[in-house]
Amino acid sequence: MTPAQKLGGLVVLILVLMASAAGVTWQVQDWRYGKQLAEIGKAQAIALTEAGNMARQEEQRRQSAVNKEASDAREQNKAAAVDAGTADAVGDRLHVEAGKFAATTCVDPGIARGGASAARAAMVLSELFQRADKRAGELAAAYDRARIAGLACERSYQSMNHIRGREN
């Protein structure tokens, strides 16, 4: 073998060794990065699970707050209905008294010629009063229901807005 061939063989050997070293280094780095990526993936999966659990807990807490507001509103509606029933009973007694008063105007012997007209006017006024009072009761009940629902909605919104303010 000539010295040039020996030198060529040595160069080829060095190149093979360098390529092998580069390949081994590449493989070791691949293992290291693979392990790091696996750890990052595991940490990310745990974080994702925890975030999902926290979101579910927050949603359950919010739903519980909304359910409580709805329950409170139902209780307030029941109380308003009882109050409306009491007001209706008082109104009915007042209507009976107004009817009696209207009826007594035509019986009064002190009233002469205008007695029949006055009695009719008193009866008409009594009927108008009864209708107006009934309608006012209906409107008051509707207002109470709407007010209770509106306030419950507002409290629910404020509780959600307050929660959102804490997160930001």
Instruction: For the chain, give every domain's residue range.
Output: 3-167
150, 155, 160, 165: CA torsion to nearest 10: 120
Alpha carbons 90 and 82: distance in angstroms, whole number: 13
Contacts of 125 (CB under 8 A, 6+ apart): 102
Alpha carbons 155 and 62: distance in angstroms, whole number: 12
Question: What type of residue sits at position 20?
Answer: S
Give the DSSP H or E segment for 75: helix 3-105
Question: What type of residue sits at position 98?
Answer: A
The per-residue pLDDT for 165 is 53
Range in 15-19, 94-98, 161-165 the model is least confident about? 161-165
**Average pLDDT for 152-163:** 82
Find out whether 92 and 134 touch, Cβ atoms under 8 Å.
no
State the DSSP string of 43-58: HHHHHHHHHHHHHHHH
pLDDT tens digits, 30-43: 899 989 999 999 99
92, 94, 99, 104: CA torsion to nearest 10: 150
The per-residue pLDDT for 113 is 52
**pTM assigned to the model:** 0.56
pLDDT tens digits, 80-137: 999 888 988 888 888 788 777 777 765 555 555 556 677 777 778 888 888 888 899 8
